[in-house]
Amino acid sequence: MKILIPVDGSKFSTAAVGFVASRATLIGKNPSIELLNVQTPVPSRAASVVGKAAVKSYHDDEAARVLKPAVSALAKAGMTADSGYAIGHPAEEIARQADADDVDLIVMGAHGHGALMQLVFGSVTHGVLARTKRPVLLVRDRAAPKADSLRVGIAVDGSKYGRAAVRYVLKHRDLFGAAPAFILMHVVPDFAGAVMPDMAGLALPAYSDEEIKAMQRKAFDTAVAPLRKLFEKDGVKFEEVCLSGAAAEEIAAFAKKRKLDVLVLGSHGHGAFKAAVLGSVVTRVAHISALPLLLVREA
């Protein structure tokens, strides 16, 4: 497995490195790890005054300050990492490096909640998500999991993006430990809110309780049945959970209740706006949950 970890010396990138360093089963498979530090260029006027040698020395020192602790942290976990730095726009350079090296995963630190996409993840993370279709694991500022085997929630919606997420998890399940617990989640509509007027103009329930349960079962099975086959084909145990209501809120609440370690969500491609980059449900989950989020694009 090829993993790219952008590092900038912040507590968020330190958390990303710590998450990877906690993956004992993955480490046993000798993954290829690359650490990348991206620095903004020195202003041309200042560069012309101090000279090329001084500018290079500055960039070398800055890179060493950031990269050495990350290399050391991975080494303590038994993992060897290559490291390097680039000069340019951080999001562009990270996305370019990920594509050039054909990585399987980008692991990035991402800060807390916020109403805007940039406040949820930060502008660099947002920029990377808008520029690459590589899977991205967003790690918040929290301690790395103590256990090797993780509790993994995979939220699916019946789309090709959910199928891509399941395929990715099964292909790279060493990332989640020797014996991870996989929980396949789907949120069905709450048909109970549907009403119709009677002859007197009063609002009456459109469906009985039995009809609602039957429609929810059908919706759940339609979304989940093809994914069951993928788990069964690989001989991987999993749990199915049917949720009902507002998708993002239900996913986040369930993750908190069951003390999940990671949430996996399928997400569509590029775009300038947050909904175009990730989809509204993913963005909302990121807004209300502090769990690490693995975002998988269609593969």
pLDDT in tens, 32-48: 999 999 998 877 777 77
pLDDT surpassing 90 at residue 78: yes
Helix axes of 52-76 and 11-21: crossing angle, nearest 10 degrees: 40
pLDDT surpassing 50 at residue 275: no
Model pTM? 0.88
Q: For residue 207, what pLDDT is reported?
A: 67
pLDDT surpassing 50 at residue 159: yes
pLDDT surpassing 90 at residue 107: yes
Helices of type H across the chain: 11-21, 24-28, 44-50, 52-76, 90-100, 117-121, 123-131, 160-171, 209-234, 247-257, 274-277, 280-288
Extended beta strands in 150-216, E state: 151-155, 181-188, 195-197, 203-205
Contact in structure between 246 and 137 (CB atoms under 8 Å):
no
pLDDT surpassing 80 at residue 125: yes
Helix, strand, or coil (residue 2)? strand
Q: For residue 286, what pLDDT is reported?
A: 83
Region 4-12: mean pLDDT is 94
Asked whether the CA dihedral 226, 228, 231, 235 is positive or negative, the reply is negative
pLDDT, tens digit, 9 for 90 and up, residues 186-239: 999 876 655 455 555 555 556 678 888 898 899 999 999 999 999 999 999 999
Q: For residue 270, what pLDDT is reported?
A: 46
For residues 184 and 198, give the distance between their C-alpha atoms in angstroms, rounded to a whole number: 40
Q: Which domains does the chain have, with CATH numbers?
A: 2-296 (3.40.50.12370)
Residue 32 phi, psi (nearest 5): -95, 115
Asked whether the CA dihedral 189, 191, 195, 196 is positive or negative, the reply is positive
pLDDT mean across residues, the chain: 86
